Structure 1
């Protein structure tokens, strides 16, 4: 699916297209989640969608998809991992395990900025019986910040979303850190100008 197809799909089916595109991301949509989230922001900037509705359905899609991964890991355990290995995701599985072993529950925070790992880690913490309250606290909070960041990038720089998405996919965590710094600077700079 190309960017124009995605934008057309979201325009045609509205807010729920954002939700389902992200909810189904856990099983491997052909586009990066970052691009889908930015699309919601971009279409909102063109006034084709209401900003708060678009953001809310986008955020719910992100956390619902990752929560689905948590519950699949909890219910099906190693059978899910076997499927991931068969889908040539073994190196991401190893990276996810390393992240979890090194950072514990804080790996949920870091994983949002590492494509594919963000989808595998919920399976692992579900399998390892992390309490859902703990999972939700770390994942939903970070998911809100992550969604807000990419949604805002779509609002402000939507015409460049393919480039931004490529950089986010390629450089993951570094891109996340840089984006937070730039977005914060931009936000505070604009606030200062308005005063």
Structure 2
């Protein structure tokens, strides 16, 4: 599913679409869910949704996905999990290596996992398989999910504003003249250096 399909789904189903996409994106399907969060402002306008609602339902979907993966990890263990995670290119040996790190740095792995491809899906599995207490898992993963969502949504809004600012000013004639001048000076400098190298030979 590409980002166009995801936006179409959100346009049809609203907040429920946001919830489902974040849920299945966390559970393991390789969806580019960061695209939804980065474009939350655009999606809010296009789908007639509120940005706060997008953040809220994204958090609920991510938290539900994390909880399901934790419960699966707790019930079936790493060996069986590897038969599923191999489809997203996470081998049993990698899971075991992450599990060793998790025993030492579980909280950090859960928090960082949101920002690392593959680890976002595997971290709650490992938390369940290594018997991390559910209350501890819940506190860390739910707070981490909210922080991750807010960071990406705010980053998306900042990038959007920066792009619009650049786009407006780039089309201003003065900036075009300055840009052309800089390019011309740079080209002259390159030609001069090439000429000096030829003379030195």
What TM-score do you get using the length of structure 1 for normalisation?
0.71
Q: Where does 1:21-40 land on structure 2 (aligned, <5 Å)?
A: 21-40=21-40
Separation in 1, partners of 2:87, 2:142: 29
Higher relative contact order, structure no. (Cα contacts within 8 Å, ≥ 6 residues apart): 1
Which structure has the larger Rg over C-alpha atoms? 2
**Paired residue for 2:43?**
43
Separation in 2, partners of 1:158, 1:7: 17
**Paired residue for 2:99?**
97
Q: Contact 1:63/1:139 (CA < 8 Å) preserved in 2?
A: yes
For residues 92-141 of structure 1, the C-alpha deviation after alignment (integer angstroms, 9 at most, x for no partner) is 53563354145232211111111210110110110111111100111111
Q: What is the RMSD of the two structures over their aligned residues, measured on CA atoms?
A: 2.5
1:87 deviates by 5.0
Q: Contact 2:30/2:88 (CA < 8 Å) preserved in 1?
A: no
- The partner residue of 1:136 within 135, 138, 158 is 138
**Paired residue for 2:156?**
154
Q: CA, structure 1 residues 70+8, in 2 after alignment: closer, same or farther (shift >3 Å)? A: same
For residues 158-193 of structure 1, the C-alpha deviation after alignment (integer angstroms, 9 at most, x for no partner) is 599xxxxxxxxxxxxxxxxxxxxxxxxxxxxxxxxx
Separation in 1, partners of 2:156, 2:44: 9
Q: CA, structure 1 residues 48+99, in 2 after alignment: closer, same or farther (shift >3 Å)? A: farther
Consecutive unaligned residues in structure 2, runs of 5 or more: 163-201
Q: Contact 2:10/2:47 (CA < 8 Å) preserved in 1?
A: no
Q: CA, structure 1 residues 88+115, in 2 after alignment: closer, same or farther (shift >3 Å)? A: closer
